Amino acid sequence: MEAKIKIHFRQISIVVYVLFIGFSLTLCSFLTVRSEVDLTIHVQNIKYDQGNLHIAVFSTGVDFPEEEDALQKTFKKIKGDRVEIHFTLPKGTYAVAVYQDIDEDGEHDKNFLGIPKEPFCFSNNVKPKLSTPGFEACAFTLNTSKTLFLELIN
């Protein structure tokens, strides 16, 4: 009988140990620092209720603001005078470029001088002077979830 009690006690000890390890691992997963954060972008001042809004997020200045070189990009059909977009990104430094593709040809139309014919904007609401702003002028740090409010330049 004494041997059965010892075996039974060992089995209970193993079960308690396994449950403790499982609980500890679960607790640790909840306490780990989140490495990705949410970026919400509100694009306002949309004057033409047509086409798509193209949004591109960049993590480096290489080929900024060329959409095809973006870290993440998306487009959204325009319905109304503002659009909201969400991204989930690792913590870091980013810049955003946006343009309204009114004619839905998938390109940001420009005139023969390279001046945009369709509305656009950049993070930090940087307004270009004589040329497209650089990554550094548009850059912002994303360490916690953040919301940007951008105004289209028409």
Examine the domain organization and report whether 82 and 98 are in the same domain.
Answer: yes
pLDDT digits 0-9 by tens, 8-65:
555 556 555 554 555 555 544 444 456 999 999 999 999 999 999 999 999 999 999 9
DSSP string, 41-90: EEEE------SEEEEEEESSSTTTT-GGG-SEEEEEE--SS-EEEEEEEE
Rounded mean pLDDT, 118-126: 98
Query: Which residues form the domain of 78?
Result: 36-151
Examine the domain organization and report whether 24 and 43 are in the same domain.
Answer: no
pLDDT digits 0-9 by tens, 87-101:
999 999 999 999 999
Q: Quickly state the pLDDT bin for 67 (edges 50, 70, 90).
A: very high
Examine the domain organization and report whether 63 and 22 are in the same domain.
Answer: no
Examine the domain organization and report whether 104 and 117 are in the same domain.
Answer: yes
**What pTM value is reported for the model?**
0.77
Backbone angle region of 81, left / alpha / beta, with phi > 0 → left and psi within -120 to 50 → alpha? alpha
Q: What is the pLDDT of residue 27?
A: 47
Query: How many structural domains comprise the chain?
Result: 2
Examine the domain organization and report whether 54 and 24 are in the same domain.
Answer: no
Residue 81's identity, in one-letter code, is D
At 42, which CATH number? Answer: 2.60.40
CA distance linking residue 23 with residue 123, whole number of Å = 43
